[in-house]
Amino acid sequence: MTPGNVDDRSPVRDLTKGIFGKLFGDKGYISQALFAELWDEGLQLITTLRKNMKPRLIPLWDKLMLRKRSLIETVNDQLKNIAQIEHTRHRSVANFMVNLVAALASYTHQPKKPTIRFTDEERHLLGIEQKQQLLIA
């Protein structure tokens, strides 16, 4: 979303206005000031740690979801490259929305889509039964 010479953390404040819950990011989003500001807004920033950082306690669910973050990036990559959602030369907002909806519709018809799957060990640690697993996937 930003050019190479702009800090990736700068648009986060504007993009997260009115959002609450958890926000997962990579090591590039580590910032105590950003964490505190988002926390005040009701949003928890969860990132991986850098090698030179001290370990910290993190809930098991958040740790597992942080590992599954690559799946979300895979979906975004497929939407950008296969469904051509990244086209930026729209002449109207309506044209942009039609392109976006068409890309999402074509993505839903792909035969193989990535899904979040938990191993038996992860399900046991989280206390998820097999029936609940089907709802998550």
pLDDT tens-digit profile of 110-136? Answer: 888 777 777 787 777 777 665 444 444
Query: How many Å apart are CA 54 and CA 124, to the nearest integer?
Result: 28
Task: For 7-53, write each residue's pLDDT tens digit.
Answer: 777 777 787 888 888 888 777 777 778 888 888 888 888 888 777 77
Check pLDDT > 70 for residue 87: no
Output the pTM of the full model.
0.58
The predicted structure's pLDDT at residue 101: 87
Burial 32-41 (b: 16+ CB within 10 A, else e): eebbeebeee
Q: Domain extents for the chain?
A: 1-56
State CA 21 to chain mean position distance. Answer: 12
